[in-house]
Amino acid sequence: MINRIYRFLKGRYGIDELYRFMFYIYFILVVIDFFIDFYPLTIITFILLIIIIYRSLSKNISKRQKENQLYLNIKNKIKNNFYDVKKKYNYRKTKIYKKCPKCKKTLRLDLPSKRGINHVTCPNCKKKITMLVLRKQKVEVITNKKKKK
């Protein structure tokens, strides 16, 4: 019997991060489904379970890895965006974030410096940017470091 199970599972894809994520969603849906009588949700939950099982038992490993990679990329993007927002919030009193009008890179401007009109140069494309500083802040342009992949 164990041998038969082993033979069945051999060469199958198994578990990855996407599997865990989908299982987590599945679990949430099951709980919601338990409390809410909404027929389409029951179907969606069931289809999700089928996909989870199908993926883990799939023999097309490269395709499943690609799906997993796609999921990880999206997840990282969301995570990075979240960190950016958090960072901007933490530095809201000492730094200014501004997008370069030419190269669209986000520039972090260090504070504090003189109030009024300031001229800064984008370190990336050397474009001169004029900016109005209302609070006392030092305007020094620093390009954001490239995000880790």
Nearer to Zn ion among residue 12 and residue 98 (C-beta): 98
Q: Is 22 in contact with 51 (CB distance < 8 Å)?
A: yes
Please choose, out of 12-20, 41-49, 59-67, 103-111, the segment that lies near Zn ion by the rule CB under 5 A: 103-111
Copy the structure tokens of residue 92.
Answer: 């809201």
Interaction of residue 100 with Zn ion, rule CB under 5 A: yes
Interaction of residue 131 with Zn ion, rule CB under 5 A: no
Strand (E) or helix (H) holding 132: strand 128-133
Strand (E) or helix (H) holding 116: strand 116-121
Interaction of residue 124 with Zn ion, rule CB under 5 A: yes
Interface residue with Zn ion, options 102, 114, 115, 147 (CB under 5 A)? 102
> Minimal distance in Å, beta carbon 104 to Zn ion?
7
Copy the structure tokens of residue 70.
Answer: 């796609």
Interaction of residue 99 with Zn ion, rule CB under 5 A: no
> Minimal distance in Å, beta carbon 143 to Zn ion?
8
- Rounded Cα distance between 89 and 94, Å, is 10
Alpha-helical regions (H) of the chain = 2-9, 17-35, 39-57, 61-90
Residue 123 burial (10 A CB sphere; 0-12, 13-18, 19+): middle
Interface residue with Zn ion, options 22, 122, 133, 141 (CB under 5 A)? 122
Interaction of residue 120 with Zn ion, rule CB under 5 A: no
Nearer to Zn ion among residue 15 and residue 125 (C-beta): 125
Interaction of residue 103 with Zn ion, rule CB under 5 A: yes
Which residues of this protein are in contact with Zn ion, per CB under 5 A?
100, 102-103, 122, 124-125, 127
